[in-house]
Structure 1
């Protein structure tokens, strides 16, 4: 199985929080993992925020930034997704950042694994809901 993973899931690979074990299971579950290359600056931003707030140490923040790319089988250039992400974001009136992940899942015919409650709620009654997998509900193995 090949899955698109967003930053809400990837951050859990480095920071212990709710559903971290579920996120870590993706790394050893045999699935191929993809994301838009946008995930790198998004995770970098989370690392910076958590470091500033004193929630993580500097070596942990550095590990997030340095180690992230190696955990993916493919990081897709955002420029390849921008047109579709824009169209989805415009339709949903939702931030374009999230829509890059959704565009990748849609264009490749894959599921998007997320822990982003806002995204899950926003897409609940849309045609894109079928592409989503809620990290916290234990349904990652379904298709």
Structure 2
């Protein structure tokens, strides 16, 4: 069964933080899917880590280079945008998170996240959630 992974989980694949061990177990699954926005969100997370001095620019670049191989399949944002916007309006939630929920609904797959707010949204939208961390 496919799993939808979000940036909060993917970031843990490359950065030691609470939940990393669980996230690495998820990484070993062969059928991972994410919306293309995951690349921007993981890059942003590593930019913040570099700013705080907890990751080096080399670590950030290595993570971003490895991410396409680790996420088995990505979905173009354009294919999810209408459903994500509907969810964002209905639930008063940022559209970036709603892209993951829209993908989970489209694929009829669980969403794996470390983000409690996203998990709550997904559950309200009828998506099965697996929490990390």
TM bracket, shorter-chain basis = over 0.9
User: Which residue number in structure 1 is paired with residue 24 of structure 2?
Assistant: 24
Deviations, residues 27-55 of structure 1 (Å, cap 9, x unaligned): 22x34000000000111111111111111
RMSD of Structure 2 on Structure 1 (CA): 1.3
1:94 maps to which residue?
A: 93
Runs of 5+ consecutive residues of structure 2 not aligned to the other structure: none
Superposition pairs of residues 1-143 of structure 1, within 5 angstroms: 1-28=1-28, 30-124=29-123, 126-128=124-126, 130-136=127-133
Number of equivalenced pairs: 133
TM-score, normalised to structure 1, is 0.87
Distance 1:97 1:34, change over 3 A: same
Query: What is the alpha-carbon distance in structure 2 between the residues aligned to residue 15 and residue 80 of structure 1?
Result: 30
5+ residue gaps in structure 1? 137-143
Question: C-alpha separation between the residues in 2 aligned to 1:79 and 1:53?
Answer: 33
Aligned pair in 2 of structure 1 residues 127, 62: CA closer, same or farther (>3 Å)?
A: closer
* Distance of 1:68 and 1:92 partners within structure 2: 29
Deviation, 1:122, is 4.3
Q: Deviations over 1:90-110 (max 9, x none)?
A: 111011100000000001111
Cα distance in 2 between the residues matched to 1:123 and 1:10: 18
Separation (CA, whole Å) in 2 of partners of 1:134 and 1:89:
21
Q: Which residue of 2 aligns with 1:141?
A: none
What is the TM-score of this pair, normalised by structure 2? Answer: 0.93
The list of structure 1 runs, each at least 4 consecutive aligned residues, that deviate by more than 3 angstroms after superposition, is 121-124
Contact kept? 2:101, 2:122, Cα under 8 Å: no
Check the 8 A contact 1:3/1:31 in 2, yes or no: no
